[in-house]
Structure 1
Amino acid sequence: MTNKDILKSAIINILRNYPHILRVNPYIFNNYPTYYLETDFKILFSYNESIKISKCLLYQDVEELSVNDFEEIERNGDFLNECGILTLKYGIDTGKHDFLRLSKDINYRCRSYYLTGTKNYGIVVSNEAQAVNQLSEFGNKENELNLAIKLYYEALKNGIEKNSLDEGIALMGIAICRKKLAELGISPIDNLLKGISSFEKAKRIPALRSSKENYYRTLANEANSKRLLAEYGYYPLKYLKESISLFKKANFDEKFNQALSFLNEGLATQTLAEYTCDKCKEDILKDSIKLFQNAQERFVPYTINHAKALTNEGISNFELSKISSNPDKYLNEALKCHKKAIKKGNFKIRNHTYMKIVFNKATTELLISELKKDHKILDNALSTYSKLEKYFKKIGGTRILIDMYRNMGRALYIFNEKKEAYSYLKKSINIIEEIRASMAILNRKYFFETISETYKLMVLTCIDLNYNEEAFKYAESAKNRTILELLYNKNIKKTSINKLESDSLISLNDLSKIIKNKTIVEYFLAEKLIVFIFNNEKLTVKTININQNDIKLKVTEFRNKINEINDIINKYNDGIIDEVAYKNERERKCNDLEEIFKELYFILIKPIKEHLNEEIIIIPHDYLHYIPFQALKNDKYLVQDHRISMAQSASLLKYLKPGEGSGSLVVGNPNKGHPKYDLTFAEDEAKKVAKKLAATLLIGNKATKDSVLNEIKDKGIVHFACHGFFNDYDPINSGLKLSDQFLTAVDFMNLKLSLELTVLSACDTALGDLNNTDELEGLVRSIQYSGCRFVIASLWQVEDDSTKDLFLEFYNSTGSNLTKLNNAQNTLISSFDIYSWAPFQIYGI
């Protein structure tokens, strides 16, 4: 008899002697009695056959069987191995944790039948790793995923053949575990990049490439990892597009894998919608719904994966409700999807997926209650949240708890129950503050859209309750979180991160000692514009009736004018327009800028003018970071009436000490001779500044990264006259272009300096995409944290000639750095237009 016949005969005899039917999913048992998994022996198994065979063999529970049933089967690991594979496949397809536990135990038992280092040993350890990987859905996720990775590496080291299909599957398993760890917020960027590397290694194995289903699985899982990278803000558009492309290449024949691919492509498409305008977002979200529906058609009904596809269809409808003129339509559809998901998931155990679906349902109901002002729906949703709270606390569901408390606070705020709202918002923020050391669980987009919104809502609530000092504290806390969030997962010394994490918020008493006779003007932009004015030991709060969108429109208008002037300059330089047309058009655009700055003056300065001393420190927020406050105008520019400096937060001011370094360093035109990056005026500026300061001068190819880092250590002043750049995808890696490499904010964070002044006489050193808002301050703030009292940086592209004149005037002036910049700008007002004299701001005190 063949092995196949022996195995088949043994199974028939086992089933004959074990007729008991275990409790199973009735839908599968009644409607899919022939539901099967295919082993290497091509035998069809039902649910009951699978679990009965596995139990008999695992526990060698064969006392009631005839000896003849096994007379032709040697007592070795092969039969047990086949049942381990069988239960693993069935457990994966149906999400049945009892099968997965059996598979783990079976494969562990199988180890004793094979010698370490043999092919079979490697395979059973790899299968054990797969079972543990799948079991992470039901237990201690982090521990089981790390165990699975360890087992996969053991399999690769001790038995799995090089360049085999089994090696490809193990590498894919490692990558999938890393993806799941990233989903838990455990070193997400690092785990995802390492996982993608494992996928790439797997794809290079010919045996895997020739196994169509496994190759497509690799493509689909790599696509999922790239989707997650995008969610963490790591080059989001690049990785989302790559992700969707990979999903489309995964042309599975088998329905289950087709369904998984559609589900994950839907998730990638859903994420892509977050990075587009509202008009495009609607179409993309509708595309994601179609993909989730395609997944539902292919998943086995009444399974967890079927429920996942349904609830994600609900999430896409929920997002559509936020941008639709008819939100009720999409919210009702979302609610319907979540209810179906709870029913069709057929959850015998209230696992994590079930709890998340219930959370999605309650969140939808909460928004419906807000729109309808329906207290009954509100109470039901809040009651569901309260029941979920215990579970998510137990498993450490930090992100969901943050969202849950925030949602409860928002709803209660809308229902004018401000004290109750305050209580829940405080719970949400307390969790955020408690998890400083593991803040990476929050991806960048989540941080800036959800966490920052929690702080905004709390500030508004405190103002309404007349808790003004607390409102100021939360506004400060929100701004301090930004730089921390940007620095996680970067190659920065742990001591630097620890210093930031341990920073406490400044008290008003300490702030009063620092600013003396100056005025702090701290803006905080939420549904209304809040202005905190602090001077003479007194905190005053003003509320201005303008919201974030109105400010964004005004900033967009201003930036469009800046871009139009840039275009005119480029056309003139390229010989497209003559000098007369250039001057006329530039003058007209600059007049338009003046009008915008007058409007902004009446919005931002006039309501608080009576509170301002001669010297003011402005702390912007959100889109206000893009505004050159020195150029705001009534009868005169603000810089003509006041000495103005900027800061990222009031709490940062306590670290700005006078620099103790000596001597100066000037870096100029590092790309001398380059057809695109050569800056003739910057070189001239650098030479004249260096002469004035008797400074060390690095020009052209001498201005390498190593030479700059070596020279900067003991200096008191550093002046960069070179190209700057802003990294929209990863703002903390913005920086300065040197002759060989970039000098970034991350580099500065790893330095310990004692500078009095750093000048960034470069293009776009403080300018980024409008979606980045507070994060554009990463470079300036990193320089100050490295040990620098004052930083001067530009808000838009600067011209060589006016920049040279500005800084020569600056260094020829006397007084503090603040006074010198203000005087230099006042001098240039008479000879240059607003585009030329206004871009530079000074940060510090």
Structure 2
Amino acid sequence: MSKIKLSKKYIGIFLVLCCIVSFAQKPSVAYYKIRNTENYTDTNKICAVEELLKKHLTDKDSLQYGIDLTAFSFWLYKNKHFDIGTLKSEKAVKFFRTFIPKNEKLYTYNLGLLADFYSRIEDYASSNDIHFKILRIKENKNKLGEIYKKIAINYNLEANFHVATTYFLKAIEEFRKEQKYRKLFDTTLLLSDNYQNILDDENIIKGIESLKKLDTIKNKIDYSLLDEYLIHQRLGNLYNYENLFNPCASLPYYKKALSIAKELNNNRILCLINNNIGYVYRNIDNDSTLFYFKKAFTYTHNDKNLNATVLSSLGLAYLDRKEYDKAYKSLNLSLDKLKTNFKKTKLTDKQTIKLSDQNLGIELLKNIAITQIKRYEDESSKELLEDALFYLKQADQQIDLIKLESTHQESKLFWRGLASDIYINLVKICYLLNDPELAYYYLEKNKALLLLEDLTKERSKTFFNVPDSIIKRERSFKRKIARIQNKPLSQKYNDETRSLQLFDIKEQYKSFLDSLQNKFPKYYKYKVKTNILPYKKVIKEASKTNSTFIHYILNDESGYGLIISKNKQALFEIHNIPLIQKYISKFNVLASKPFTSKIDQTAFQKVSKELHNKLLPENIFYDNRGKIIILPDENLLSIPFEILIQKNEKYLVEDYLISYAYSISFLEQNTDLKRTHQKEFLGFAPINYKNLNTLTKSSTEINTAAKKFDSDILLKEEASQQNLLNSLADYKIIHLSTHANANDSITPWIATSTKNITLNDIYSTKNNAELVTLSACNTSLGKLQKGEGVMSLARGFFNTGANSVVSTLWKADDQSTQEIITDFYTYLKEGKSKPEALRRAKLDYLKNHSLSEVSPYYWSSLVLIGNPEPMYSSINSWFLLVGILTSFLFIFILHKKNSKK
């Protein structure tokens, strides 16, 4: 360990000397004298060097000024004077950028040092901007691995884990080429940590696989006991992931790491490994948990970060034991260790705590609030709820800051998932405080916020006058990225190969965006801030349209709903969530297939009534026979509310107009988006497929629908991938009758006569549709992204411009779908609103069929998402023309009579 520290201590000095030797000059004698004066404090040395640098400028010895400034910047970095060091390093970079004769090595060294300073002051974005600049300097091609590694570490530190993965892999590739096995080993360890942070099954497995690969290079490095410890400790962390393994699977690795830690006798690693073992026992034996956490605390000594980590663990152990006072004290002490401002005083809601570790800090803020909520359940003190509300608001502000700085979709989705747990606790407090207005705000933040951001960004392109040619070029890069993402994995083309291919194209895309920053600086530096529709405006809209909005939020333990209508705004609790989830699973199984017996029908009716009672409680839900706009959450996204059975034994659809929305704010702002379409209707049906069943009725469906509109049709060979992608922007109505599929493990796709169109492809397109009809299977399904919604084909079309989408919740039946869609268009053309047109089409189907054919499977899969307004006038155009001519004639006759008078 001492050898490692010694080498790190002098490596910077060595680099400075190398650069200075190459410049044929070294720091001045006066500089060395100041730096080596033993009775000077650091403050004295800083002041003295400042005076020396001024003297160099006065004497017009600018070269010596640059050399001494470089050495001084490094000394400040080594002695952890990061704030003042950053300023001096910026001056050094500026000096050598303009100094003649140019010295690329010294300029590059100062750039690298400045990037390290930025990283130290937690300005990771600026640090990476400098690293990207260094990458463009040809002389640094032999240092690519190290630069990629630093970029990856920065992305990891700002919790941009998905992007960090790509750069870690690129660094590993370079180190392998350069045969720098020590660096390859260390970077792989960092990569395994990064995989763990992503918190999903796929990446946990990748983390384990990456560590196992290290066996092949152990004999190529000076493999130490510390290396052995780190591998076992990392494997323990990965196997401790609860969704994939039994937590006990991690214990053998942790126990082995603990025995090595004792041999190394290093307090830090003894602390961390005991803390990790404590977490394994949380779900097994609380006494053992507390024992290991307390043991870990004995090794923290004066290390502030270790103190914060273990105090947080102790707080959770006390929370599990329902010792809430101890939990609150431990968690708050941990938070104090992380605060870099307002350590002693209480903040207001408008101020934000600054934290040295945002990941741990956000978790602490959430757990302190949960502790106060638990205490409230025992003591019923309103002050406890208000305290919990304060901490959760702070956690929300922290996530907003991270999300605002993040430019990558995967990272934003990661943080949306973590935020979801915060929002449900915030809504719980609002329920207990009877504050529906504040609950509405956090319910909206929990729904499709990134979709709303994308919409805001799309509108900003017009505002900032970004030319169409630039927007098309940007989309072309997205299409190239989509093509790589769509390539199937195999033994020869594995996930790592795909990641490296994506890295290359994304680097080109980044260079393209960087090149535009000078031309359109306001747009490309614009931070998207989404506006949530004001609560009072929602009530006004509900009153004006006679609508009822029903907003849901739930997780595995809790659930809440908010009803907003003209006469009623109320929060309600959904009780017994595990039972609700069982009902939903059973409901979906029964609804997504035809009834084959009276037993099936009776079972469905029973579970449908139960869900109606739980999700639309009688004391909350007003029976006003109006419009209902459902904003579902989690697995409620998979059920059509239309077939919930009321007390009067009728389906909900028989009495109400029902539609769905991602969020009220998105619904309102998406409606306002300007759409320009040259043509009315596009019908698309490949009919015949290479590896899928022929859909003979899709031709009839398209042709029948097309007769009602001024239409273009793409059938058979013409229904190709490229023809569809090229046509999407031109039509008011887009109707796709084809095969499709989606679930939580595959990328959603739509079949064409050539290649499938995936969700990734759709994201790289643009449409101007008032309505997209997806007459295919499972088009509302996809991966459920916690806190954001389902990543479905329907969402993809909203993301790229659609105002409303008709999509399916399960496998569509050809015949019944054709009948309902045909009638839907008939009513739509007559001027009915979209949900009214779909409702009437479904009721007509029920009226004209009997027995098994009226099973919900046949008619309830189609749902309307988005804007519910009519698309056509209810007044017949001929009658309108006759009325206008009659009016003109009347005015003409009246004018004649007046003239004669």
Tell me the equivalent position of 2:146: 173
Which of 548, 553, 565 lines up with 1:535 in the alignment? 565
Judged with a 3 Å threshold, the aligned counterparts in structure 2 of structure 1 residues 630 and 694 are, in CA distance, closer, same or farther, namely same
Match of 1:386 among 323, 336, 339: 336
Counterpart for residue 726 of structure 1: 742
Task: Tell me the equivalent position of 1:622.
Answer: 634
CA distance in 1, matches of 2:806, 2:824: 11
Asked if structure 1 preserves the Cα contact closer than 8 Å seen for 2:451 and 2:799, the reply is no
CA distance in 2, matches of 1:680, 1:257: 68
1:516 aligns with 2:516: no
The 5 A counterparts of 1:173-212 are 173-185=146-158, 188-203=161-176, 205=177, 208-209=178-179
Contact kept, 8 Å, 1:484 with 1:497, in 2: the verdict is no
Summarize the alignment of residues 417-566 of structure 1 with structure 2, pairs less than 5 Å apart: 417-439=384-406, 443=411, 447=415, 449-481=417-449, 483=451, 501-513=529-541, 516-525=545-554, 527-547=557-577, 549-560=578-589, 565=593
Residue 547 of structure 2 aligns with an amino acid whose one-letter code is K
Query: Deviations 1:650-691 (Å, cap 9, x if unpaired)?
Result: 222313539764644445344733123643333443333334
Q: Does the CA contact (< 8 Å) of 1:477 and 1:505 recur in 2?
A: no
Is the alpha carbon distance of 1:791 and 1:394 closer, same or farther for their aligned partners in structure 2, counting shifts above 3 Å?
Answer: closer
* CA distance in structure 2 between the partners assigned to 1:682 and 1:657 by the alignment: 30
Aligned-partner Cα distance in 2 for 1:451–1:717: 36
Whether 1:823 aligns to 2:804 is: no
Structure 1 Cα separation of the partners of residues 819 and 241 of structure 2? 44
**Residue 298 of structure 2 corresponds to residue 317 of structure 1:** no
Displacement after TM superposition at 1:595 (Å): 3.5
In structure 2, the CA distance between the partners of 1:376 and 1:781, relative to structure 1 (3 Å rule), is same
Is the Cα–Cα contact under 8 Å of residues 666 and 689 in structure 1 kept in the other structure? no
2:815 is matched with which residue: 794, 801, 807?
Answer: 801
Partner of 1:157: 138
CA distance in 1, matches of 2:257, 2:113: 26
1:327 to 270, 281, 286: 286
CA distance in 2, matches of 1:261, 1:558: 51
Stretch moving more, 405-414 or 380-389: 380-389
The one-letter code sitting in structure 2 at the alignment partner of 1:836 is Y
Verify the 8 A CA contact 1:224 1:243 in the aligned structure 2.
Answer: no
Q: In 2, are the aligned partners of 1:188 and 1:440 still within 8 Å (CA)?
A: no
Q: What is the aligned partner in structure 2 of residue 286 from structure 1?
A: 251
Partner of 1:142: 124
| Cα 1:504/1:182, change in 2 over 3 Å | same
Q: Which residue of 2 aligns with 1:647?
A: 661
Could you tell me how far 1:456 is from its partner in structure 2?
0.9
Q: 1:680 to 1:424 in 2, by over 3 A?
A: same
The CA distance in 1 between the partners of 2:189 and 2:9, in whole Å, is 31
Aligned position for 2:504: none
**Residue 824 of structure 1: how far off its partner (Å):** 2.1
Which shows bigger deviation, 825-834 or 392-401? 392-401
- Give the conservation status (yes or no) of the 8 Å contact 1:251–1:258: no
SS in 2 for 1:766: coil
Structure 2 counterparts to residues 548-697 of structure 1, below 5 A? 549-560=578-589, 565=593, 592-607=603-618, 610-614=621-625, 615-634=627-646, 635-657=649-671, 661=677, 663-670=679-686, 672-676=688-692, 678-697=694-713
One-letter amino acid matched to 2:561: V
Residue pairs, 1:771-786, within 5 angstroms: 774-776=788-790, 779-784=793-798, 786=800
Q: Rate the CA distance shift 1:130–1:462 in 2: closer, same or farther, 3 A.
A: same
1:151–1:528 CA distance, 2 compared to 1 (3 A): closer
Q: Any gaps of 5 or more consecutive residues in structure 2?
A: 18-25, 34-73, 344-352, 377-383, 458-473, 479-512, 514-521, 869-901
Correspondence for 2:719: 703
Secondary structure at 1:522's aligned position in 2?
Answer: strand
Structure 1 gaps, min length 5: 1-27, 29-34, 39-44, 63-87, 89-94, 161-166, 348-353, 566-582
Q: 1:790 to 1:202 in 2, by over 3 A?
A: same
| Stretch moving more, 819-828 or 183-192 | 183-192
Q: Which amino acid aligns with 2:218?
A: N
Instruction: State the Cα distance separating 1:359 from its structure 2 match.
Output: 2.5
Q: Does 1:415 align with 2:388?
A: no
Give 3-state SS (helix, strand or coil) of 1:404's partner.
helix
Per the TM alignment, residue 764 of structure 1 is displaced from its structure 2 partner at its CA by 1.6
Q: Distance in 1 between matches of 2:813 and 2:783?
A: 21
Q: CA-to-partner distance for each residue in 1:416-453, whole Å, 9 max, x for gaps?
A: 11111112222222333355422469946753553111
**Quick check: 1:669–1:678 contact (8 Å CA) kept in 2?**
no
Asked whether 1:342 is paired with 2:372, we answer no
Tell me if structure 2 keeps the 8 A contact 1:171–1:199.
Answer: no
Write the deviation string for residues 301-335 of structure 1: whole angstroms up to 9, x where unpaired: 24xxx43x7426524633652xx253343244234
SS, match of residue 755 in structure 1: coil
- Greater Cα offset, 325-334 or 598-607: 325-334
SS of residue matched to 1:645: strand
Judge conservation of contact 1:520–1:534 (CA < 8 Å) in 2. yes
Distance 1:660 1:510, change over 3 A: farther
CA distance in 2, matches of 1:52, 1:499: 40
Displacement of 1:244 = 4.4
Q: How big is the shift at 1:781?
A: 4.1
- The CA distance in 2 between the partners of 1:786 and 1:265, in whole Å, is 46
Of 291-300 and 472-481, more deviation after overlay is shown by: 291-300
Q: TM-score, normalised by structure 1?
A: 0.71
TM-superposed deviation, 1:820: 1.8
Would you say the 8 A contact 1:715–1:754 is kept in 2? yes
**Counterpart Cα distance in 2 of 1:313 and 1:657:** 55
Contact in 1 for aligned 2:168/2:187 (Cα 8 Å): no
Q: How far is the alpha carbon of 1:807 from its aligned partner?
A: 1.5
Q: Percent identity?
A: 19
How much does 1:461 deviate? 0.9
| 1:583-623 Cα shifts (integer Å, max 9, x gaps) | 88687656544433232122112435751332211111222
Q: Tell me if the contact between 1:179 and 1:195 (Cα under 8 Å) persists in the aligned partners.
A: yes
Q: 1:502 to 1:748 in 2, by over 3 A?
A: farther
| Aligned counterpart, 1:23 | none
